[in-house]
Amino acid sequence: MSTNDKIQIGIIGAGGIGNVHLQEFGKVSEAQIVAVTDAYQPMAVERAKQYNIPKIYNTYQELLQDSSIDAVIIAVPNESHAPIAIDALQAGKHVLLEKPMAINAASAKEIMKTYLKSGKVLMMSHQMRWDSLNMQVKEQIDKGALGNIYNVKAGWMRRKGIPGWGTWFTRMHKAGGGPLIDLGVHMLDLSLHFMGSPKPVSVFGTTYAEFGPKKRGIGTWGKPDWDGFYDVEDLATALIKLDNGSTLTLDVSWAAHTTFQDNGPYIYLMGSEGGASLRGGKGVLHSELFDRTADVELTAPQDDEGPRVRMSRHFIESIRNNREPIASAMSGLTNSLVLEAIYESSRTGNVVTLDWNLD
């Protein structure tokens, strides 16, 4: 690959989120999607026609054997993230991996060990880091405007939004969890990003399933399989302590009787010199001037190209410059360790100390 050539990309998984990646990478001139595969072959054929993708492979293993492919996007159900990511890195491919990194911490550690030996770029698909308002807040944080961020409250509370009831979305052994691993991973990742990536040390949390088992709280994402089953949570809450003494509160739901009407993410940052609130597509910086509270509203630029385009371009730039991406492999491992600790804390009723040992 010369510096003037486009990065040749293969996409593994052509369903809903895979289609989103196809749309966004199509806007990045430095990249070219040249191959596609999906466990459901007609879907791969359909996407190839839709996006003029020259190569269709029957299996991801065949795609990985294509020496002309520089990088792969892994957009498959959660249970397959680890085996495919490991195979891709061992095949010498750069990897953009959909969240969560894996369905459990042990699998995430296996990915991490493979990555450390690979010499390749592994980036997590945490597009919220590239949201315009979030980037503006991070810029102020990096300038020191918030000082020491010692407390964060973050969440994503859907009132009626269980996706694909009865499909892999709602099966623990396939998805790894419910809204905590689906939505919570984004808010956890974004919070730690804002906080300067401190190391989580302990977790106390609880999960609940009050809607899903009764087939209530059903959302519009995915097609339900009423012959399937539901064994994940529909609400989770946790307190996470970091190694620098700061704390993070996380609340997520797919379904809940609550006043949260916007069904969207929110985050409140509390720092020693200032604060920030992000909710409902709006951002506000908080401070104190002349002994009075002062707020500054943030605005997204008109004709904003969107976070996923910026994320896609960052992946390509990371490959070209052989540089660790902002949403690094370590961020994926950190998220997996915290999520698993929340589930364990809910099962045991105890505070769980995170195990960072890769052995």
pLDDT digits (tens, 9 = 90+) for 56-82: 999 999 999 999 999 999 999 999 999
Task: Give the C-alpha separation, 324 to 332, whole Å.
Answer: 13
State residue 222's pLDDT score. 87
What span, in angstroms and rounded, lies between the C-alpha atoms of 89 and 74?
12
**Residue ranges with strand state E in the chain:** 7-12, 31-37, 55-57, 71-74, 94-97, 122-124, 149-157, 200-208, 235-242, 247-253, 265-271, 275-279, 282-289, 292-298, 352-353
**Residue 4: its pLDDT value, please?**
54
Residue 84's pLDDT is what? 98
Phi, psi of 157 (to 5 degrees): -105, 105
Nearest to 98 by CA among 9, 185, 7, 222: 185
Question: Tokens 């993230």, residue?
Answer: 81
C-alpha–C-alpha distance, residues 103 and 120, integer Å: 22
Res 359: pLDDT: 82
Burial state string for 159-170 with b = 16 or more CB within 10 A and e = fewer than 16: bbbbbbbbbbbb
| pLDDT lower than 50: segments of the chain | 2-3
Tens digit of each residue's pLDDT (9 = 90 or more) over 138-192? 999 999 999 999 999 999 999 999 999 999 999 999 999 999 999 999 999 999 9
